[in-house]
Structure 1
């Protein structure tokens, strides 16, 4: 009798993945790829993980976020952690802020301030300080943007690989709510007549390095997300989130090589076969680029292999503004200062026009973080770690920045008087400046454009560099320079899209990290 025996199982070798950069997108990709069965090696040029989402520490006990300080919409990262067998809330202590931040509107002869609250009743009362009639627009604004996000979410959660992807049903369905012909400011004018109220719900376009007067109306969802899903502070700074991601990735078997810059991607024809570091080649079945797109891709991929994104196209693309940063360790406390403070200059619209034209604003709007209002670990007892961010022109618009640093330091420090802090100069015990040329030279940010490629419609969706980089084979992108775009939640979502494509291409486990049931992430409130 003939017996048919089952064929022996075919064991494929586990794919080897090289990831260039340990920023938030690279770390998220490392976690998910390692959880999917790949062998993952992350090559990071610096001695710490996190890229711009890291915590700067000083010998005398001050800690500062380097870049992002607003931690929004943690649901995406929570889902990624769960996909990888971990719990975000067990790895990082997150405090939900209430109030969320303080807005200071400069006016002739003084200023008006409001404390933005996720409690809609409280927020209506705050809006009424500026314009009583506009308080009635808050709940319709929230309802409209809740619907907008629900409809547009499928678009943000998938890849755009061909022009035909722009004509799929989810895009067609979203267009009436997106109003692509409108801007954030014009869209807000349907709910709020007072320009100051519109600023309260549109300054968030600065998370993308854009003007609310140019930014597509889709991005009114940014302020909606803050009010409906909360703003969180990770104890220890946003770098604590990056460190937790690295910790989980290593537990899953990923190797993270610090102090190891990648010189170039190794190609055979148009297919990536590994990376070269310090003259040595490290073979890989695929390469994920998490380094800044404009700063890294011209170095990593030879120009003859880049048809869609040539050096000329990269140079002519539109980029975000840059930022002038001050990190100050002060030998006194400021008990009345909020955790997040946004100073909106009376000349806000002029500031934006100046930045877009290459002029440095002399009465700038700025953002000040006082993390010690929530987190005592950020400075020694009795001291303050102060973070200052001033939007300024990038190095395309203003190439001669280095001559301005000392003078602009004084401009920025003088602006702290608006917050009632007086002259902080006698109290400075630690100081670091990061100006546009430092973003380029030290941190590899192309053109010093802190928020990467701008998010105008001609540079979104299919028109943004693809998650599967279309010019070559075996190269994938994560980070703010690819779809869906900049901002931590969006970068994490982009990493899910990219690793989903890689799962299909490399035969990895394609299990989704998205929760099947809706449910908001809960964390301890500030002061709990």
Structure 2
């Protein structure tokens, strides 16, 4: 078949590689001047900044792409393990060094709160059960309600009706440790107090497979995938923005795409790695959308957005690890501001990324490359980002300087900022959401937008907004699901 993939994020690349390896003729059309989607790369003043994602788990999904293509991973990318996975820092000065050494984790838990050692052991065994039953679901399509019914008994047994925080809190008492073991949904756009406890399996996933980095940054992983795709005979067209998915009204089938340039490209099937809401709202004419109507799409709950400052320093801060999670003074109340009130709070919880801790080539000699990421409300909130960007940036940098990076303001030599408007305007992400559809219980599995469209039979969707969800394992799994369905 002749297949067009819209967008070159990790979901689109994963699907395109698998489909090309199956013998199809695949063309990726990408709006921007570089591949990668959310994994775009900014380069300035000798510094390289990965726009994200930057936390790589489930490396077997990467390895599998090369295996199905009969290629050697080592010929394309260099994967290295990280230790610690990340440091979790609290304002009282305590630091939890999160890694894959269970004995080391237990010893740290004992130092935080001896009474939580037994609770952690029970939490670990419970997360192991969630992992064993939940992980296979990541590469299984949920196209029919009966697919959901088949797994419902297991999900009830695993307490999927609880939130991740509720699941963790029944085992752990220390307030800081509760945050250490429940913050993970934030990495995929979810509220730990609302995301289904199935995501508690992330802890076991990381313990089983580790957290990894590709030398050269996430952009090097994108380039490795693109080279693999092209070596298989696939075609990548950059600066090709899709204006519409063309539908035959008689057959209700997609026949190709119309580009902003006016060119028409024919196809036997379409895989959209564009934001799922924007795919339906802006690329598929409304008369062909019985299920995915404007109202249906608009009524879904969407994840928060992000405010990210990419910056380079002319000194190295070697006390900071590759990944740092900086917890603010509030936890649950801050989540309410972020997800429910959609209010931009004055306090922060931040993710600080320092890839030069592992790969110094991403900055000039003696320098560090960074980004600091602040979860912020999506554009349903009332924040005026035209006026707020500079003062919010200043507040974050002042906070970092006061708490973690002394004399930071004197050492910044380059900088670039993105806010929710970037996600809306550059990435076509509905409401400026950074992770598309929020991963709540009733927006997961069958309840999530499906990988194969019910409205257009030969239209498939991959990426953060469809099953199984956001994050590198999720979007790559969506590519596998679609390729298997089309096989």
Normalised-by-shorter TM-score class: over 0.9
Shift of residue 173, structure 1, vs aligned partner: 4.5
The aligned runs of 1:469-480 (5 Å cut-off) are 469-480=453-464
Q: Select 2:37's aligned residue among 47, 51, 59.
A: 51
Q: Is residue 186 from structure 1 mapped to residue 172 from structure 2 by the alignment?
A: no
1:264 and 1:275 in contact (8 A); partners too = yes
CA-to-partner distance for each residue in 1:303-351, whole Å, 9 max, x for gaps?
A: 1111111112212210111110000011111111111111111212221
Instruction: Give ranges in structure 2 of 5+ residues lacking alignment.
Output: none
Q: Given that residues 45 and 258 in structure 1 are in contact (C-alpha distance below 8 angstroms), is that contact kept between their aligned partners in structure 2?
A: yes
1:247 to 207, 227, 243: 227
Distance 2:410 2:422 in 1: 26
What is the 5 A alignment of 1:220-239?
A: 220-239=200-219
Distance 1:386 1:154 in 2: 35
Check conservation: 2:129, 2:158, Cα contact below 8 A.
no
Q: Is the 8 A contact 2:131 2:204 kept in 1?
A: no
Please state how far the C-alpha of 1:432 moved relative to its aligned partner. 0.5
Q: CA deviation at 1:273?
A: 0.3
Mapped pair 1:387 → 2:371: yes
- Give SS of 2:93's match: strand
Matches within 5 A, 1:25-104: 25-58=11-44, 60-104=45-89
Residue 247 (structure 1) shift: 0.6
User: How many residue pairs get matched?
Assistant: 483
Q: Which residue of 2 aligns with 1:117?
A: 99
What's the TM-score, normalizing by structure 2? 0.96
Compared with structure 1, are the counterparts of its residues 144 and 415 closer, same or farther at alpha carbon in structure 2 (3 Å cutoff)?
same
Structure 1 range deviating more: 81-90 or 257-266: 81-90
Q: Which string of whole-angstrom CA distances, capped at 9 and with x for unpartnered residues, describes residues 412-458 of structure 1?
A: 10121355312422222111100011111122221111011001122
CA distance in 1, matches of 2:5, 2:161: 38
Q: Do the aligned residues in 1 keep the contact of 2:9 with 2:35 (CA within 8 Å)? A: yes
Q: Any idea what SS the aligned residue of 1:72 has?
A: coil
How many Å separate the matches in 2 of 1:90 and 1:389?
32
Residue 452 of structure 2 aligns to a residue whose secondary structure is coil
Contact 1:148/1:177 (<8 A) preserved? no
Change (3 A) 1:418 1:131: farther
Task: Name the structure 2 match of 1:211.
Answer: 191
Maintained 8 Å contact 2:280/2:292: no
Residue equivalent to 2:483: 499
Partner residue, 1:370: 354
In the TM superposition, 1:210-359 aligns within 5 A as 210-269=190-249, 270-277=252-259, 278-356=261-339, 357-359=341-343
> What does the per-residue CA deviation read over 1:214-241, in whole Å, with 9 as the maximum and x for residues that have no partner?
1111111112222221111111111111
TM-score, scaled relative to structure 1: 0.89
For residue 399 of structure 1, report the CA deviation from its aligned partner: 5.2
Paired with 2:74 and 2:173, the residues of 1 have a C-alpha distance of 40
Question: Could you tell me how far 1:474 is from its partner in structure 2?
Answer: 1.2
Tell me if the contact between 2:317 and 2:405 (Cα under 8 Å) persists in the aligned partners: yes
Call closer, same or farther: CA 1:150–1:115 in 2, change over 3 Å: same
**Secondary structure of 2:38's partner?**
coil
Residue 127 (1) aligns with residue 109 (2): yes
RMSD between superposed Cα atoms in Å: 1.4
The runs of 5 or more residues in structure 1 that have no matched partner are 1-14, 504-528
Q: 2:382 maps to what in 1?
A: 398
2-side partners of 1:283 and 1:162: how far apart?
A: 29
Could you give the per-residue CA deviations for residues 250-290 of structure 1, whole angstroms, max 9, x where no partner exists? 01110000111111111111210011111111110001100
Structure-2 separation of matches of 1:431 and 1:177: 49
Partner of 1:175: 155
Matches within 5 A, 1:449-460: 449-460=433-444
Deviations 1:92-120 (A, max 9, x none): 111111121111112xxx32112112111
1:487 equivalent in structure 2: 471
SS state of the match for residue 39, structure 2? coil
Distance in 2 of aligned mates of 1:474 and 1:312:
23
